Amino acid sequence: MSKVEERLAERGLVLPAPLKIPEGMVLPFPEVNLRGDRAVISGQGPLNADGTLSGPFGKVGADVTVEEANKLAEMTGLAMIAALKRTLGDLDRITGWVRVFGMVNSALGFSQQPAVINGFSHLILDVFGPEIGQHARSAVGMAALPMQMAVEIEGEVQFTP
Amino acid sequence: MSKVEERLAERGLVLPAPLKIPEGMVLPFPEVNLRGDRAVISGQGPLNADGTLSGPFGKVGADVTVEEANKLAEMTGLAMIAALKRTLGDLDRITGWVRVFGMVNSALGFSQQPAVINGFSHLILDVFGPEIGQHARSAVGMAALPMQMAVEIEGEVQFTP
Amino acid sequence: MSKVEERLAERGLVLPAPLKIPEGMVLPFPEVNLRGDRAVISGQGPLNADGTLSGPFGKVGADVTVEEANKLAEMTGLAMIAALKRTLGDLDRITGWVRVFGMVNSALGFSQQPAVINGFSHLILDVFGPEIGQHARSAVGMAALPMQMAVEIEGEVQFTP
């Protein structure tokens, strides 16, 4: 078991199954694209343990509270770690997080995107540690996200090929 | 003729002329920025054969249908391939697509961004093949895009310097 | 003094102090994340000399004019250069700008994002010169930004490790 998975287990955190793609939806790209020592991660959303997309859905600041969205961002982090594990096999091959782009489906006037995406960043820093887990970040407000997701995050990590 | 151009020709697809920049608009950056083995592609929109921006314009889900926007995303892919050809000379120097960020000018409540950007992804996979064409992707909803474009896409490829 | 700082001094431009993070806000990530020869820059906003966030705030095209927003984009550029200086020590270690993602908090129907982000691009080209300063760019409209910022920009540069 990798160190990252040990830390997840210690915290009682479980990696979700792959996204159950809704009927009729076509997603012609991998979860993670490996090029050289770069693992580039496609936009991920919050998943339940069985891979179904997790609500609440809609706009943060109207349909979804900051606290709920913070939890959705953490769940998105778990989905991303699960995708990295499926692609890389061993999460300890990750030598450093590079960038994270946190997208919050935002109601008019909502401006607490950083508090939402902190649910993701705190998870990554906790399970990868402060050096490997360190990442550049933006957390911004989108007009809309696929499937009315409240949060979507993309990113990139470095790994040992 | 490169393999990619052969495939474009077989499909009857024609690369558009460079963007005809509207009167008074200043864009102080290249279409593609080469750094090491990275070709980083500035945000592109759908172009007609003569380089003028293609409509329909406005918000997908209100002013523009999903089908129209899917076609605009494919046209944006052709504009991007044209930009890569002008910058790299030979499209077969591209060794792998890295990431694609698909931005859809989205009406309130519109959530089919993936179906729109699939017009782009399917083109890239078709003409570059499944290995070189494979890309990480997000497809998300923007509040607004320059010149009321319905679709804008940025990305990055690896190439042989 | 680095060449870049000489050029800033010649133009009477002063780098701002680090962002004074508002009470209660947590930002668990660095301004700039160094990985190999990549310096990846977290989303930055316009700062006053003392590190407080600069207004005007709100949506460009409604609360903020294009001219004001263009100035805010330039101020964001200075904040980014300041962050790079704190992280790298010497700005002349930067060998090339890679990409810039310019986000404009946009009112309904506003579509002059490029004119706004030009305030940033012109500064970078002016003080880094046309070769090192050259960058791929997108300039797009966001539904919302943290702290009601009118402009936020993220990016990446290459540097000599």
Q: Which of C11, C114, C58 is nearest to A141 (CA)?
A: C58
What range does the domain containing A111 cover?
3-10+31-159
Q: Report the distance separating Cα B3 and Cα B7, nearest Å.
A: 6
User: Taking residues A42-71, what's their average pLDDT?
Assistant: 98
- φ, ψ of residue B10 in degrees (nearest 5): -55, -35
User: Taking residues A42-60, what's their average pLDDT?
Assistant: 98
In a domain, C43, yes or no: yes
Q: What CATH number corresponds to the domain at position A50? A: 3.30.1330.40
The DSSP call for residue B137 is: E
Query: Chain C: nearest CA to B144, how far in angstroms?
Result: 4
Q: Which of A28, A142, A146 sits opposite B121 (nearest CB)?
A: A28
Structure tokens at C160: 């000599």
Please report the ipTM that was assigned to this predicted complex: 0.97
In a domain, A58, yes or no: yes
In a domain, B36, yes or no: no
Instruction: List all residues of chain B from 7 to 66 with a beta carbon under 8 Å from chain A.
Output: none
In a domain, B28, yes or no: no
Q: Which of C97, C111, C135 sits opposite B146 (nearest CB)?
A: C111
Question: Could you list the pLDDT tens digit for every one of the 161 residues in chain B?
Answer: 899 999 999 999 999 999 999 999 999 999 999 999 999 999 999 999 999 999 999 999 999 999 999 999 999 999 999 999 999 999 999 999 999 999 999 999 999 999 999 999 999 999 999 999 999 999 999 999 999 999 999 999 999 99
* Domains of chain C: total: 1
pLDDT tens-digit series, residues B14-28: 999 999 999 999 999
Angle between helices A3-10 and A66-88 (to 10 degrees): 150
Q: State whether the Cα torsion A154-B44-B134-B156 is positive or negative.
A: negative
Structure tokens at A3: 């160190």
In a domain, A19, yes or no: no
In a domain, A21, yes or no: no
- Helix/strand/coil for A129: coil
CB atoms within 10 A of CB A110: 22
Q: Which residue has the tokens 């002013």?
A: B63
- Helix/strand/coil for A134: coil
Average pLDDT over chain A, rounded to an integer: 98
Cβ of A110 within 8 Å of Cβ of C144? The answer is yes
In a domain, C19, yes or no: no
Is residue B36 within 8 A of residue C158, CB to CB? The reply is yes
High-pLDDT (> 90) share of chain A, %: 99
In a domain, A86, yes or no: yes
